[in-house]
């Protein structure tokens, strides 16, 4: 894909460009004349850490002239089993619980986090009820929240996707930073706040094209039929989600 491509969120690269100017990246990698730079904060120290914590992981991909050709952001949620002496109040429940995360933690942050958490609750809630095991046992839960690509040609676009895959492999599949899954909600930004009966069919076609793109480029699989949430397994031990049943067409 050349030109502009988005998942959701900001329609420009200004925020990441500002980060790029403000501080050095945590790590970087080169490929085909492009450089990937990644920024993220450390998790809070043990004395200041809650059971549920979140952080943003930002990245920018620049060409040889230092022009940003792609940028994006991940939102990472982690559960920490805290020693008893660090438990601050009776709100701490001691073990991960998807409904608690969805309704008390993600919902308090923003609507997109709540939607993602609710999607995880629907998909893995049945497994949790049977086994008391949640995806947090297999690592953090990551939302691929923002992406914009402004590649100048097809080879450059291909190189961008190679670097995004490299970011996922290193940041979320490594022994030190293993996550359970990455969630993606494809949404064409040109329809933000403007999906109506007149353009609903065009919106659906555009969104389905994005679903196919992320499947082809990142191996993302469909998790939710209604909102078209996708997921990428980043820990092989994570159980399969509950499969949604397709609604049968009404008989005429």
**Maximum separation of any 2 CA atoms in the chain, in Å:** 64
Residue 135 included in any domain: yes
Residue 246 included in any domain: no
Residue 156 included in any domain: yes
Closest CA to 58 of 80, 32, 26: 26
pTM across the whole model: 0.88
Residue 107 included in any domain: yes
Q: What is the pLDDT of residue 249?
A: 46
The domain of 86 spans 3-233
Residue 95 included in any domain: yes
Of 20-34, 141-155, 175-189, the range with the highest mean pLDDT is: 141-155
Residue 171 included in any domain: yes
Q: What is the pLDDT of residue 86?
A: 57
Instruction: Work out how many domains the chain is built from and give that number.
Output: 1
Residue 252 included in any domain: no
In this predicted model, what pLDDT tens digit does every residue of 164-196 receive, in sequence order?
999 999 999 977 779 999 999 998 877 777 788
Residue 123 included in any domain: yes
Place of tokens 């230092």: 66
Backbone angles phi, psi at 145, to 5 degrees: -90, -35
């Amino acid at each position: 894909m050349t030109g502009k491509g988005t998942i959701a969120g900001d329609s420009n690269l200004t925020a990441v460009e500002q980060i790029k100017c403000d501080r050095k990246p945590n790590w970087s990698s080169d490929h085909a004349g492009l450089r990937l730079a990644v920024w993220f904060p450390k998790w809070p120290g043990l004395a200041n850490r809650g059971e549920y914590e979140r952080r943003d992981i930002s990245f920018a991909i620049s060409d040889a002239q230092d022009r940003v050709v792609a940028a994006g952001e991940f939102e990472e949620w982690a559960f920490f089993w805290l020693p008893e002496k660090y438990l601050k109040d009776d709100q701490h429940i001691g073990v991960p619980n998807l409904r608690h995360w969805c309704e008390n933690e993600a919902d308090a942050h923003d609507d997109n986090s709540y939607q993602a958490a609710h999607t995880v609750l629907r998909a893995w809630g049945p497994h949790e009820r049977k086994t008391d095991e949640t995806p947090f046992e297999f690592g953090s839960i990551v939302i691929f929240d923002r992406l914009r690509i402004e590649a100048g040609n097809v080879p450059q676009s291909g190189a961008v996707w190679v670097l995004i895959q490299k970011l996922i492999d290193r940041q979320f599949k490594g022994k030190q930073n293993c996550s359970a899954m990455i969630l993606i909600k494809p949404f064409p930004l040109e329809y933000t706040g403007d999906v109506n009966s007149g353009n609903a069919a065009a919106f659906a076609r555009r969104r389905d094209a994005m679903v196919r793109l992320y499947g082809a480029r990142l191996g993302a699989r469909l998790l939710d039929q209604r909102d078209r949430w996708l997921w990428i397994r980043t820990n092989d031990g994570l159980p399969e989600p509950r499969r949604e049943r397709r609604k049968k067409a009404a008989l005429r």
